[in-house]
């Protein structure tokens, strides 16, 4: 029997939507292409899958090359199959999304490749291939995921204040949430634990620092979004 790869198979690529959060801004890592197709335009970082790689290996390879780090939170998003999505020929893309916390993001600034840049989710430019659609799918997934799964684990530093967590949720969901109801909800869920320490040196009352509860049973976390716009 002939080995599989001697038949004609579509090319198989991984494309990554890497979300970074910093200073109340959710951004995505984009690649400025310096070769055809879409030379000079923006795309998501991606790579073709090698025969001996698992999806996660390809993801790590892309992340190491472009961001200078791997081992991020990764989740498979969807597989895209439009025959016209790549002008070079038939190519299937298995899209993943990744989350980077602000601390790692700072470090990344020095190790990032020269051809990539963080771009605000709200100011996404035109993207090559079908990457705009992939980006939209990823944002939608992140927004729904955050409502029933403690995603903040991956986007905040180890220690953080209630306000920082609150701002993260408002930013991702692009809405405002009542501060006091949010607080009660989160504390009741045991999603996070107080450390007893406080963040000093602000111009106001020193807020409590929290950490994520690593022993959380993830299935009893459910955040409902109020219709209102907070206070």
Partner DNA sequence: TCAAAAGTGTTTGTACTACACCCATGC
Partner DNA sequence: GCATGGGTGTAGTACAAACACTTTTGA
**Interface ranges with DNA (CB under 7 A):** 161-163, 178-181, 183-185, 188, 198, 200-208, 222, 224-228, 231
The H-or-E segment that residue 209 falls in is strand 208-212
Please choose, out of 52-60, 128-136, 158-166, 192-200, the segment that lies near its own copies by the rule CB under 8 A: 52-60
Backbone dihedral region for residue 227 (phi beyond 0: left; psi -120 to 50: alpha; all else: beta): alpha
**How many residues in the shown chain lie near its own copies by CB under 8 A?**
29
Do residues 42 and 127 lie in contact, with contact meaning Cβ atoms separated by under 8 Å?
yes
d(CA 34, CA 46): 14
Look at strands 192-198 and 208-212 and give their pairing: antiparallel
CB of 120 to DNA, least distance (A): 21
Q: What distances in angstroms separate CA 209 from CA 36, 87, 181, 188, one per listed residue?
A: 49, 51, 19, 17
Could you say whether residue 82 binds its own copies (CB under 8 A)?
A: yes
With vertex at residue 189, the alpha carbon angle to CA 183 and CA 194, rounded to the nearest 5 degrees, is 65
CB of 216 to DNA, least distance (A): 16
Q: Which of residues 178-207 bind its own copies (CB under 8 A)?
A: none
Q: Which is nearer to its own copies, 10 or 40 (CB)?
A: 10
Among 33, 61, 64, 90, binds its own copies (CB under 8 A): 90
Among 34, 52, 201, 203, binds its own copies (CB under 8 A): 52
Could you say whether residue 3 binds its own copies (CB under 8 A)?
A: yes
Do residues 50 and 64 lie in contact, with contact meaning Cβ atoms separated by under 8 Å?
no
Q: Quick count: other Cβ atoms within 10 Å of Cβ 150?
A: 18
Among 48, 65, 181, 188, binds its own copies (CB under 8 A): 48
CB of 178 to DNA, least distance (A): 6
Q: Which is nearer to DNA, 111 or 228 (CB)?
A: 228
Do residues 165 and 192 lie in contact, with contact meaning Cβ atoms separated by under 8 Å?
yes
Q: Which is nearer to DNA, 11 or 202 (CB)?
A: 202
Peptide bond into 135 cis (omega under 30): no
Q: Which is nearer to DNA, 140 or 228 (CB)?
A: 228
- Residue 107 interacts with, from its own copies, DNA, none (CB under 5-8 Å by kind): none
d(CA 173, CA 75): 19
The residues binding its own copies (CB under 8 A) are 1, 3-5, 7-12, 48-49, 51-52, 54-55, 76, 78-79, 81-83, 86, 88-92, 94
């Amino acid at each position: 029997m002939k080995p599989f790869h001697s038949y004609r198979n579509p090319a198989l690529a991984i494309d990554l939507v890497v979300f970074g959060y910093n200073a109340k801004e959710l951004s995505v890592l984009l690649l400025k292409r310096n070769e055809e197709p879409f030379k000079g335009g923006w795309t998501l970082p991606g790579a073709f899958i090698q025969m001996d790689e698992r999806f996660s290996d390809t993801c790590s390879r892309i992340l190491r090359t472009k961001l200078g780090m791997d081992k991020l939170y990764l989740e498979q998003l969807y597989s895209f199959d439009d025959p016209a999505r790549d002008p070079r020929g038939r190519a299937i893309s298995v899209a993943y999304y990744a989350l980077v916390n602000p601390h790692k993001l700072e470090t990344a600034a020095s190790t990032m490749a020269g051809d990539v840049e963080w771009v605000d989710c709200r100011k996404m430019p035109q993207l090559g291939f079908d990457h705009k659609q992939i980006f939209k799918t990823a944002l939608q997934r992140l927004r729904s995921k955050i409502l029933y799964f403690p995603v903040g684990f991956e986007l905040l530093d180890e220690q953080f204040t209630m306000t920082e967590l609150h701002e993260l949720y408002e930013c991702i969901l692009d809405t405002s949430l009542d501060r006091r109801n949010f607080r009660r909800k989160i504390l009741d869920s045991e999603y996070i634990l107080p450390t007893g320490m406080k963040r000093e040196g602000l111009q106001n009352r020193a807020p409590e620092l929290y950490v994520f509860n690593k022993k959380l049973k993830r299935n009893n976390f459910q955040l409902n979004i109020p219709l209102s716009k907070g206070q």
